[in-house]
């Protein structure tokens, strides 16, 4: 396992998952403090573990003496692999591998955007027994559940759909990056094998959703639909009237940290 010391003093380590080096940063719990569940960060599509929310969450963990795990999916950040080779199933497998290998005891899983979808897929993959032993709760930020189908494919023009189907890729412009990024046929098709909406979703632990009402990427109505599907779990939905998709302002970060603290 290789390590590189970064500016904040937290080592970047690597775990091999399906041939890719998955970069992660793990903060250990302070043994002198009362034990509390650790925190795991699941980032969004094209995001990484150096995002504002991820770093602020780690800073909170440090102040509270809590363990915290952040990592980059393959094709993201410091991890190896090409972004265009990534699909939901692969990123889910990497998330499960890191959670199982790099954490111990109960965890609060924080999933942002695509990370919210991966979080709930992880709950399904774990099943009731493992989830109840390892998960203290879930905090989901603008959870983009089923986004490849409901928020991408459903919004695409016939021309773009045809390009994806015939050429295997379409370059999508982004408001969050200067260059467009690829949306592949493999991503769309794999997304269809991982759809959650339309059936009951079991999180096996309390869920707190933070959703901006000015979010242009994940409409707040999408979060309402998700709540309806979490029928068997204790769910809190916090709608932030002037909140955007990122929810990275100081007041948004404060709401995130409060949600994590309230769960465990």
What is the pTM (predicted TM-score) of this model?
0.95
What sign has the CA pseudo-torsion 166, 167, 168, 173? negative
Query: What is the reported pLDDT for 1?
Result: 36
Q: 178 falls in which pLDDT band (50, 70, 90)?
A: confident
The DSSP secondary structure of 29-40, one letter per residue, reads P-TTSPP--EEE
Maximum CA extent, the chain: 60
CATH architecture observed for domain 3-146+198-263: 3-Layer(aba) Sandwich (3.40)
Residue corresponding to tokens 């100081």: 250
Separation between Cα atoms, residue 194 and residue 203, nearest integer Å: 15
State yes or no: pLDDT of 220 exceeds 90: yes
Q: What is the mean pLDDT of residues 71-80?
A: 98
Query: What is the reported pLDDT for 195?
Result: 98
What is the domain partition of the chain in residue ranges? Answer: 3-146+198-263
Report residue 33: phi and psi, to 5°: -100, 155
Query: What is the reported pLDDT for 8?
Result: 58
**How many Å is the Cα radius of gyration of the chain?**
18
């Amino acid at each position: 396992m290789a390590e590189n010391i970064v500016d904040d003093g937290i080592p970047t380590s690597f775990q091999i998952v399906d041939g890719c080096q998955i970069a992660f940063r793990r903060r250990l719990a302070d043994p002198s403090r009362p034990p509390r569940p650790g925190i795991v960060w699941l980032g969004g599509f094209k995001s990484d573990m150096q995002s504002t929310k991820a770093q602020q969450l780690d800073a909170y963990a440090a102040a509270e003496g809590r363990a915290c795990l952040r990592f980059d999916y393959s094709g993201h950040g410091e991890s190896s692999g090409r972004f265009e080779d990534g699909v939901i199933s692969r990123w889910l497998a990497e998330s499960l591998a890191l959670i199982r290998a790099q954490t111990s005891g109960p965890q609060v899983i924080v999933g942002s955007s695509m990370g919210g979808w991966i979080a709930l897929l992880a709950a399904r993959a774990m099943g009731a027994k493992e989830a109840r032993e390892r998960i203290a709760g879930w905090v989901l930020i603008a959870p983009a559940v089923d986004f490849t189908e409901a928020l991408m494919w459903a919004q695409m023009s016939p021309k773009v759909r045809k390009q994806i189907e015939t050429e295997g890729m379409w370059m999508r412009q982004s408001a969050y990056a200067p260059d467009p990024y690829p949306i592949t046929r493999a991503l769309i098709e794999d997304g269809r094998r991982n759809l959650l909406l339309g059936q009951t979703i079991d999180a096996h632990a309390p869920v707190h959703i933070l959703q901006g009402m000015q979010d242009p990427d994940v409409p707040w109505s999408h979060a309402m639909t998700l709540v309806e599907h979490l029928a068997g779990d204790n769910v809190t939905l916090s709608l932030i009237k002037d909140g955007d998709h990122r929810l990275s302002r100081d007041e948004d970060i404060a709401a995130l940290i409060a949600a994590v603290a309230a769960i465990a």
